[in-house]
Amino acid sequence: MSILNIILIAVTLSLDAMAVSAANSARYPRMSFLRACRVAFFFGLFQALMPIIGWMMGTGLEKIASTFGPWIAFILLVILGSKMILESQKPKGEKEVDLDNWKVLILLSFATSVDALVVGVSLALVSVNIWLGSSLIGLITFGLCLSSVYVGINIGRRWGKHAELIGGIILIAIGVKILLEFLIK
């Protein structure tokens, strides 16, 4: 597999993580660069690790990963999106979940990287250096998510409280998209 193909896979895999990064960061009109890097790091890390895990699983567990993965991603994104929508209705001081919450970052990162697990299983069937491929996937996801965080921040500055509501709707929509893509196959 060529490096160009791996780059195209990386960009494709990062799309959901980019949308989630932008949607969630819209809640924070003043996010430090370090905090933005942390968000992008989690998404990049999970996007890099999941293909390795999938590759190690090989073909034996491909059916399990491809069957349950989309459902898990759907459930997690709907739960987190619903929580964001509910929190958008609370006064600012009452909000409990933010991007400093490691559990939220891990759940979002996991939910958006389940497809990378299945890609990893597929990569086990072709001639590819999984370490190079996963590194590229992680780095590209990191860079694109970091950019998306700043897009989200600017959206949040313009839309204010409505940005969190929209972000929650986007998370649910991404979850539905992942599930529909699976069901339509």
Average pLDDT over residues 173-181: 84
pTM of the complete model = 0.75
Task: Evaluate whether 99 touches 24 at the Cβ level (below 8 Å).
Answer: yes
> How long a stretch of residues is the chain?
185
Q: H-helix or E-strand containing 101?
A: none
pLDDT in tens, 28-44: 778 889 999 999 999 99
178 or 102, greater pLDDT: 102
Query: Torsion-angle region of residue 98: left (phi > 0), alpha (psi -120 to 50) or beta?
Result: beta
Tens of pLDDT along 117-164? 878 877 877 778 999 999 999 999 999 999 999 998 888 777 766 766
Cβ–Cβ under 8 Å, residues 87 and 79: no
Give the model confidence (pLDDT) of 148-157 as tens digits: 999 988 887 7
Query: Is 50 exposed, middle or buried (CB count within 10 Å of its CB: 0-12, 13-18, 19+)?
Result: buried
Domain definitions of the chain by residue range: 3-184
